[in-house]
Structure 1
Amino acid sequence: MNEIKWNRLLKLLSVLIPTSFTFFVILDNAIFAWSDNYQFVQHVMSMDTVESVVHWRGIQNPTIWKIAYNFLITCESLTFFIGILALYKMIKAFNEDKKTFEKAKFWGYITLILTLAIWFFGFIDLGGEWFKMWLSPSWNGQPIAAWLSIIFISLLTLYQMPEPSEFT
């Protein structure tokens, strides 16, 4: 296998990682542990386990918790299905010319951007800063969200790198 093929394989892997990750997250959130993860959303949004002067930001409405949780599951599901589409298009274009493969990468960018949006914007910005999740001794998801954000940024960086032929 030549250098261009290895590079394309790395691009496929860069999309496979968040796609497979969101698959397992969906299984956990929507099927196997719905109530456990719903409790996480409930406690973070209600701010009932943090001491803060900004408790007015807390949301005490179970309907809004369910809407937010279902929206999160929907975003994760959308990310997964877009990731599958990206992988399909990239595999189909794997042995094609550079222009065709680059065009096939479009949905991979969307997959990586969505995963970053979910875990950085959703968990670090909204959960962490707006709802002060980082103050909670038991419902703090910021450390894992930070790690995931670093991973997704790294994958996005790898993904957008040009093919080896462009370096010469």
Structure 2
Amino acid sequence: MEFRLIKLVMVLGIALQMWLVSIGNVADPEVNWEYIKHILSMDLVEGEGYKTRAILNESFQKIAYISIIILEFASAILCTAGSFLMFLNIRKDDSRGRQIAGYGLLVVIFLFFVCFYVVGGEYFQMWRAKGWDARQVAMWNLTTALLTAVALKIPDKRI
């Protein structure tokens, strides 16, 4: 049962993180909106070699930002629902809760690995935008989500 509690706390922690991030983006959208504009427009990247990749159209930038917020909320909802079911079934098989939480973690992994690390970091050269490189924060979120996903797949009987 202890390992089930560890899994539950891990999923709850990620749910809380994603709620705080998504609500923060709605409550104070300008903070991360500036970040999105700089990364997508590549205006802080020195040199011209990669600038053909830039998205300068503000409507497309807003679509990207809103999509990120939707993914954040989706992961928060799925991880919360999964952890709720895991809690209700803490003394028995909680495969449905783990499955739903797993989908939430999949969204977190997609968001922080594919969107931020690969697309933002490499395609839009975020690592070259001094002061705006969010790859480390993305890696923290990605690592936590991956560890939690692995923990969810370990059968309780093996511990």
TM bin (shorter chain): over 0.9
Quick one: which amino acid aligns to residue 50 of structure 1?
V
Residue 45 of structure 1 corresponds to which residue in structure 2?
A: 40
Q: In the aligned structure 2, how far is the partner of 1:35 from the partner of 1:102?
A: 40
- Give the TM-score, by structure 1 length: 0.89
Counterpart contact for 1:14–1:156, Cα < 8 Å = no
Matched, 1:55 2:89: no
Matched, 1:138 2:131: yes
Residue 75 of structure 2 corresponds to which residue in structure 1?
A: 79
Q: In the aligned structure 2, how far is the partner of 1:103 from the partner of 1:29?
A: 30
Bigger CA radius of gyration: 1
Q: Could you tell me the percent identity over the aligned residues?
A: 24
What are the Cα deviations for residues 24-83 of structure 1, in whole angstroms up to 9, with x where unaligned?
A: 10121111x211100100000000000240100001001011111001001101111111
Structure 2, gaps ≥5 residues long: none
Matched, 1:10 2:3: no
Matched, 1:127 2:120: yes
Structure 1, gaps ≥5 residues long: none
Residue 142 of structure 2 corresponds to which residue in structure 1?
A: 149
- Give the TM-score, by structure 2 length: 0.94
What are the Cα deviations for residues 62-106 of structure 1, in whole angstroms up to 9, with x where unaligned?
A: 10111110010011011111112111211121123x3xx123311
Counterpart contact for 1:86–1:108, Cα < 8 Å = yes
SS in 1 for 2:132: coil
Structure 1 stretches of 4+ with a deviation exceeding 3 A read none
Quick one: which amino acid aligns to residue 45 of structure 1?
L
Q: In the aligned structure 2, how far is the partner of 1:86 from the partner of 1:125?
A: 27
Q: How many residues align?
A: 158
The CA RMSD measured in Å over matched residues stands at: 1.3
Deviation at 1:18, TM superposition (A): 1.1
Counterpart contact for 1:18–1:111, Cα < 8 Å = no
Quick one: which amino acid aligns to residue 145 of structure 2?
F
Quick one: which amino acid aligns to residue 116 of structure 1?
I
Residue 25 of structure 2 corresponds to which residue in structure 1?
A: 29
